[in-house]
Amino acid sequence: MQTKKKKISNGVYIIGTGPGNLKFLSPVSKNIIKSCDIVIASSRLMAFIPKGKKIIRLEGKYKECLEFIQKNALTKKIAVLVSGDPGIFSFSKKVTQILDSSQYEIVPGVSSLQVACARVGLSWDDLSLVSVHGKSLRGLAMKCEANKKVIIFCDNKNTPARIAKYLTRKIKEKAHAVAFGNLSLPDEEIIKSNIISLAKCKKEWKGLWLLLLTK
């Protein structure tokens, strides 16, 4: 049986590039990126774009990029690259909000959370997801107390140690904590601990981090 290759038509392709390592980019996504007129992505994702492609960098230009996408969705093939899976704490949400559903296609990717759970052999069908990316930690303790498994998407300010320190002041239990850094990349790190020890950890938290709390 022969299957026809689907022609990539004009529109917006929101592509999940996976946790960072090029090996995680699916062949489907690779083909779409190759055939697009223009790629919109943050600097961190430049390695996923073939040489010679027109690129618009996302940093500091979110509003302009959204305007460009809205204006050109019918006349161009636009690839918007996002990290991990577009369904999890992603710029994807902003893009789908401004378009009609006929104007975009979401191409799934492997989320950093999937890689984290795979590394420690944990299922994620009962995991509670929290992002503290650019946010305050208020309310986090309540979420952690109410759920057995919580995964927290960190940022450079809200590092695993800072979060653990905050939680030790708010909750009594000595929850197990695993910090996952730069998953799938050459400097991947996994630190298995508990919130009390993690709160005292003085390391430099370079790159991207997730914090898994279980009780």
Ligand X SMILES: C[S@@+](CC[C@H](N)C(=O)[O-])C[C@H]1O[C@@H](n2cnc3c(N)ncnc32)[C@H](O)[C@@H]1O
Chain residues in the site for ligand X (CB under 6 A): 19-20, 83-85, 88-90, 111-113, 133, 153-155, 180, 182-184, 208-210
Shortest Å, Cβ 130 to ligand X: 10
Q: Give 76 or 135: the residue with its C-beta nearer to ligand X.
A: 135
57 vs 76 by CB, closer to ligand X: 57
Q: How far does CA 84 lie from the centroid of its chain? A: 4
Task: Give the Å distances, CA to CA, from 214 to 64, 148, 173.
Answer: 41, 6, 10
Cβ nearer to ligand X, comparing 29 with 90 = 90
Measured from the CB of residue 10, what is the shortest distance to ligand X in angstroms? Answer: 25
In the complex, what is the shortest distance from the CB of residue 100 to ligand X, in angstroms, rounded to a whole number? 23
- Give the DSSP letter of residue 49: S
Closest approach, Cβ 52 to ligand X, in A, equals 27
197 Cβ partners below 8 Å, 6+ apart? none
Q: What is the DSSP letter of 212?
A: E
Phi, psi of 168 (to 5 degrees): -65, -25
| Smallest separation (angstroms) from ligand X to the CB of 43 | 14
Instruction: Tell me how far apart the 2 most distant CA atoms of the chain are, in Å.
Output: 63
Interatomic CA distance for residues 126 and 114, integer angstroms? 13
Strand partners, 189: 181
Which of 145/155 has CB closer to ligand X?
A: 155
Q: Which residue is nearest to ligand X (CB)?
A: 84
Residue closer to ligand X by CB (options 72, 137) is 137
List the structure tokens of 109. Answer: 């990717």
